[in-house]
Structure 1
Amino acid sequence: MGRALLVIDMLNDFVEEGGSLYVGEASRNIIPFIKQKIEEFKKEKCPVIFICDSHEKDDREFEMFPPHCISGTWGSMVIKELEPAKEDKVIKKRRYSAFYGTDLDLYLRERGINELYLVGVCTNICVLYTAKDARERGYSVKIYRDGVASFDKSVHEFALQEMKNTLGCELI
C-alpha cells in the first residue's frame, strides 16, 4: 500500500502573523509536528506533497474571503520552516479541495498511492474538502489530529468529527 503525506496550505497568508487570512497561534503550533512527519515520510521514501492555495487577482473566492494567496506573492508561498525540497511535489489549487482542477489524483495513481495522510490548515475548509474528495475517489485517509488547525476550535472539532463519522477517515 503506497502512502503519501499531503501538507495543505501551510502558506504565509495563513500561518504568518502578517498574512491576510492568518489562522492564529493554532497554525504556528502545528509546525514542529508537521516538520517531524515530513522527515518521517522522506526517511521511508514516501512522497511529500505540498498543496498550495494559489489564486488569480480577481478570483471569485474573494467575494467570500479577503484576497489571499495570490499567485506569485509572498502570501502564496510555503512558510520558510517547511519549505519544499526539490524532490517534493507542489500542487497549486484555486479551490478548497486539492483534487478540484489539479493533477493530484493522476499523480497519486501513477505512483500506486492509495493511503493519504493529511496535515495543514484549515481543518474545516481545505483539509475537510480534500479529505471528502479523496474518500470519494477511494483513497484511505488519515488525519493527524496534532497536524491540523483552524481559526475556530469548535469548527475545527466539528470538521474532525465530520471526517471521521461521515467520511470514514481515521483520526490519528
Structure 2
Amino acid sequence: MVVVDMLNPYDHKDADQLAGNVAPMVSALAALVTRAHEHDDVDLIYVNDHYGDFAATREDIVERALRGRRPDLVEPIVPPADCAFLPKVRHSAFYGTALEYLLRRLGAGTVLLAGQVTEQCILYSALDGYIREFSIMVPPDCVAPIHHDLGRAALRMMERNMSAEIVPAGSCLL
C-alpha cells in the first residue's frame, strides 16, 4: 500500500478546495492505513513531496505538515515509525524515487494507491506502476481530488486504460 502526499501543509494554490475534499476521506484512509499496518503480508509505504527542501527528513516533512493550516487532516495519517518513507519531487510516486526497487525487493505484484491528488499524483503514479507491470488498486473513498470532475475522470482512466481495480477501502486487504 502506497500513501501518496498526505503530509501536506495546505499552504498552496487550491489548498482550501483540496482540503475540503480530503476531509471526508481521511477517516477511511486512516482506517485503511491501520489495517495495512496490522496485516502481515501488506507493506505500508509513504511517498510524499518534500516541497523543494532536498535536505528534509521524514520527521521534517511530518512536522511541516502538522504545523500547516490543516493538522486535523494530517494527524490521523501520520506514518507509523516502522513503515518505509520515500520523498518525491514530482507528481508520480515512482519518478526519481526508489519505489520500484523497493516494491520489487518486497515481491509486490499489486500496488494499492491512496492519498491525494486523484487527478494528478494518484493518476500519474498509477500509470507509472502500470507500465512497470504492477497491478493497480485504488479505493475511491481513500483518494481526494482538487476538482471532482477530473477526479472521477482519472479514476475512470485508471480503470479503463490501466486495468486498475477501483474498489472501496472496505474491500481492500481482505
Q: Does 1:49 align with 2:45?
A: yes
Query: Does structure 1 conserve the Cα–Cα contact (< 8 Å) formed by 2:136 and 2:162?
Result: no
Q: Which residue of 2 aligns with 1:74?
A: 64
TM-score by length of 2: 0.80
TM-score by length of 1: 0.81
Q: Distance in 2 between matches of 1:11 and 1:116?
A: 20
Query: Does structure 1 conserve the Cα–Cα contact (< 8 Å) formed by 2:33 and 2:44?
Result: yes
Q: Deviations over 1:59-96 (max 9, x none)?
A: xxxxxxxxxxxx75714989222111111111110010
Greater than 4 Å deviation, 4+ residue runs = 75-78
Q: Which residue of 2 aligns with 1:62?
A: none
Q: Distance in 2 between matches of 1:38 and 1:166?
A: 27
Unaligned runs of 5+ in 2: 54-59, 68-72, 168-174
Equivalences, count = 152
Higher helix share: 2
Unaligned runs of 5+ in 1: 58-70
Identity value in percent:
25
Cα distance, 1:35 vs. partner? 0.9
State the AA in 2 paired with 1:7.
Answer: V
- Measured on the aligned residues, the alpha-carbon RMSD in Å equals 2.1
Higher strand share: 1
